[in-house]
Structure 1
Amino acid sequence: MNTSLLSLRAYNFFYFSLLSIFISFLPVYLSFRGVTPAQIGVLIGAGSFIGILSQPFWGMVSDRTKTIKRVILVTLGLSIVSGIALFTTTPFFALFLLVGAMYFFLLPTDPLTESLNYRMAEQHRTSFGSIRTFGAVGYATASLFIGWTLDRLGMEQLVWLFVGYGVLAYLCALAMKDAPASSKPLSWPELKRFFLYPKTQRFFLLVLIAATPHRTNDSFLGVYVQSLGGTTGDVGQAWFLAAVSEVAFFAISARILARWSEIRLIMLASALYAIRYVLCALAPSPEWVVYLQLTQGVTFVIFYTATIQYLYKIIPEEWRATGQTVLAVLFFGISGIIGSLLGGWLFQQSGGAALYWAMGICSAVAFVYSLMLASSKSSVGGAGM
């Protein structure tokens, strides 16, 4: 096996394992520390706002310096330091600052990693999914292992799990190769035209609508499972099943993308998202919610890979890292703010079932909008979509 791809796949495994701790278990950790659902929404919403600023910033640093690996080493290293402080802290104000630091360093590492994966896949003439699958496997195994461990040893041990996965991810990042830089000069006017293009604006609006309920689920899945009587182990199992389904669909994503247009795949994913969240709202027990996460592969993977492929078709080559971070701003930033703030308020006021009904309705709106775009002559991607 190619050693550069081997180290990149190992890095994906441990980085997404680390990310699973932050995304899957941060709300559970905050709840353990006595933070209310509304306060969790404020913390994650504020962090998502910081992500709006930090993700384009680090993406532009990468484009300007013509390196992805070195930027990842900086953001990942500072993430590990911030995470150690976060998972040993109890005062609300300190939690607020440290969650913000994690959103400034750890979340921008995600789009940089995806950009590196895509470029290295192109260079080695392999599929993006064949690399990204290892990240999904890491997320799956870490979710199950961490949930099982915390059930037996206590939430206080979360910091040691974070340190372990963080150090392994950093060592793999040191060993991996950098992505080939674009030889084209950066062109601000070209980037400005890209963002002012109506096709681009319609595409990003669709991403925002569809991503908001997804990010709401990221923030409140664990809290919802526990509100139905589930344990931390159940939360880990839910994320494990979600990530296992991602593995399967990342493995076949190249064939799916080659056969179907991006907008139609986004339309399919939005419809399935709506069904998934409505079923979660109707769930009579935590086990139902846990097993419904098996639909994550057919929803998230299809949606996310289709949006990345379409973005890379329309954005100038020299601005790909920046474009990837703009997509991440929508997916993890703006949608995260909307989902966490409104979701936290709705959860506290009306309960988890009402929240998941609202998420299902939002996904249905995304489906209708994508259907309109697919049937319009001026839709996203034009006739080819």
Structure 2
Amino acid sequence: MKVMAARPALALAYFTYFGVLGIFVPYLGLFLDGRGFDSRQIGLMLAIVTATRIVGPAVWASLAERSSKPLAVMQLGAVLACVGWLGSFINGGFGLLLAALALFSFFWTAILPQLEVSAFSFLNNDTEQYSRIRSAGSVGYIVLVMLGGWFYQLYGSEFMPATALAFLLLLVFCLFNLPAQTPEYDTTTPGVSYLQLLRQKVLWIFMGAALLMQISFAPFYGFFTLYSRDLGYSGSQTGLLISLAVAAEIVAFYYAGRIMRNRSYRTLLGICYGLTAIRWLMVALLAHSVWWLALSMLLHAGSFAIAHSCAMQFIQQVFPKAQRGRGQAIYAGLIFGGGGAIGAYLAGLSWQNGAGAAQTFILAAGFAWLSCLLVLTLPKNIANIE
């Protein structure tokens, strides 16, 4: 098969990967609600599915390191994710759907950490170029969010299985068109053991703050579409609101390299996390006004795009070159897996089928504020782990 040049292939891979998430993340709550599950069941299912991301990234990163074939690992994960997703077509109750989504999520974790490592390798660790290519993922997300809102109005929540599968297959095609790459390992740099990692205070602070931030995002990822529906917004309006957040994210990703240049991660992350706390309070208290809700969506530029770019650069800087895949796996597993699972479970308990929506977002603001305070204790200059 003839492969594409590295940069357009990476951009297309990010586009399709996050395009799938543009269907999966905003509309999974509506899909599960349409299948007849209550908020506690939805929260539990989201928590268990998200928890597969704790183990998954480490398993796949280890396989990629040992085989020195991150591309093959991504391709295998994407194919198996398609197989797991097929179970979503069957309306067989809680247990069957949970198993299908858990399998899908476990295989899905094979993709992004290796894609991030490959992107930085292809781009010679150029943060500015990475941010611009990564913005293609945000474009994919926004396109699918808009498409999903329109499909939801036309076909209801059952639009999701077939639409997501179509873009999963497109992702498989994209990954098989990425140029092959063998990572260049620096054999002169000693490896880092997990025991060494556990001794690093700066890593504990960074990961702890990021974990609290991810917990704060769980109500937005799991329940925002249900929240906006209960407030009277249509599927298209909800899609537009989420798309506004992602549009702000795209602009922020494009300029992230310039924004981060010669600036402290501690300062940038503190600002981003503080703005996130304000954002969730706006969603909790002012969401009845479309203008205030739209303004809260614009804060996604800081609370996700700049914060994520800082996190990626932190991992590139702190971990030795040969073990950046491990760093990505730890970040993806602990933060997106652990934080997402804890947050989803707590949100499911607090939501109370919509009656506790405002208090859930106020709780999220509290977690974001704690993460802001924690990240401000980071040292100004961060050195490699030794």
Relative to the length of structure 1, the TM-score reads 0.91
Give the Cα–Cα distance (whole angstroms) in 2 for the partners of residues 52 and 274 of structure 1. Answer: 25
**Does 2:354 align with 1:352?**
no
* Pick aligned residue for 2:198 from 179, 195, 198: 195
Counterparts of 1:61-140 in structure 2, within 5 Å, are 61-122=63-124, 127-140=129-142
Report the residue type matching 2:38 in the other structure: T
Deviation at 1:227? 2.4
Report the residue type matching 1:363 in the other structure: A
**Does 2:369 align with 1:364?**
yes
Is the 1:207–1:330 contact (alpha carbons within 8 Å) kept by the matching residues of 2?
Answer: no
**What secondary structure, in the 3-state scheme, does the structure 2 residue paired with 1:30 have?**
helix
- Say if 1:231 and 1:32 are closer, same or farther in 2 by CA, change over 3 A: farther
Give the Cα–Cα distance (whole angstroms) in 2 for the partners of residues 247 and 65 of structure 1. Answer: 34
**Does 2:185 align with 1:183?**
yes
Report the residue type matching 2:141 in the other structure: Y
Runs (4 or more) in structure 1 with deviation over 6 Å come to 123-126
Deviation at 1:268? 0.6
**What secondary structure, in the 3-state scheme, does the structure 1 residue paired with 2:37 have?**
coil
Report the residue type matching 1:152 in the other structure: L
Report the residue type matching 1:101 in the other structure: L
Give the Cα–Cα distance (whole angstroms) in 1 for the partners of residues 124 and 270 of structure 2. Answer: 26
**Does 2:382 align with 1:381?**
yes
Is the 1:267–1:367 contact (alpha carbons within 8 Å) kept by the matching residues of 2?
Answer: yes
Match of 1:213 in 2: 216
Match of 1:254 in 2: 257
Deviation at 1:118? 2.0
Deviation at 1:229? 2.3
Give the Cα–Cα distance (whole angstroms) in 2 for the partners of residues 156 and 84 of structure 1. Answer: 13
Match of 2:41 in 1: 39
Give the Cα–Cα distance (whole angstroms) in 1 for the partners of residues 265 and 15 of structure 2. Answer: 26
Counterparts of 1:267-286 in structure 2, within 5 Å, are 267-285=270-288
Q: Deviations over 1:346-380 (max 9, x none)?
A: 11185110001111111111112222x15xxx567
Q: Deviations over 1:40-87 (max 9, x none)?
A: 110011112221111111111111111221111111111122223214
Give the Cα–Cα distance (whole angstroms) in 2 for the partners of residues 357 and 105 of structure 1. Answer: 33
Percent sequence identity over aligned pairs: 22
Is the 1:343–1:355 contact (alpha carbons within 8 Å) kept by the matching residues of 2?
Answer: yes
- Say if 1:116 and 1:334 are closer, same or farther in 2 by CA, change over 3 A: same
Give the Cα–Cα distance (whole angstroms) in 1 for the partners of residues 167 and 270 of structure 2. Answer: 35
Give the Cα–Cα distance (whole angstroms) in 1 for the partners of residues 236 and 289 of structure 2. Answer: 11
Give the Cα–Cα distance (whole angstroms) in 1 for the partners of residues 172 and 192 of structure 2. Answer: 36
Is the 1:215–1:332 contact (alpha carbons within 8 Å) kept by the matching residues of 2?
Answer: no
Give the Cα–Cα distance (whole angstroms) in 1 for the partners of residues 39 and 358 of structure 2. Answer: 14
**What secondary structure, in the 3-state scheme, does the structure 2 residue paired with 1:260 have?**
coil
- Say if 1:274 and 1:167 are closer, same or farther in 2 by CA, change over 3 A: same
Q: Deviations over 1:92-148 (max 9, x none)?
A: 111111121122011342222222222222178962112101111000111111111
Deviation at 1:298? 1.9
- Say if 1:120 and 1:364 are closer, same or farther in 2 by CA, change over 3 A: same
Give the Cα–Cα distance (whole angstroms) in 1 for the partners of residues 96 and 311 of structure 2. Answer: 36
Report the residue type matching 1:294 in the other structure: L
Which region of structure 1 is more displaced relative to structure 2, 343-352 or 25-34?
343-352
- Say if 1:336 and 1:169 are closer, same or farther in 2 by CA, change over 3 A: same
Report the residue type matching 1:343 in the other structure: A
Deviation at 1:293? 1.8
**Does 2:317 align with 1:316?**
no
**What secondary structure, in the 3-state scheme, does the structure 1 residue paired with 2:109 have?**
helix
Is the 1:211–1:331 contact (alpha carbons within 8 Å) kept by the matching residues of 2?
Answer: yes
**What secondary structure, in the 3-state scheme, does the structure 2 residue paired with 1:122 have?**
coil
- Say if 1:31 and 1:323 are closer, same or farther in 2 by CA, change over 3 A: same
**What secondary structure, in the 3-state scheme, does the structure 2 residue paired with 1:230 have?**
coil
**What secondary structure, in the 3-state scheme, does the structure 1 residue paired with 2:261 have?**
helix
Gaps of 5+ in 1: none
Match of 2:267 in 1: 264
- Say if 1:231 and 1:125 are closer, same or farther in 2 by CA, change over 3 A: closer
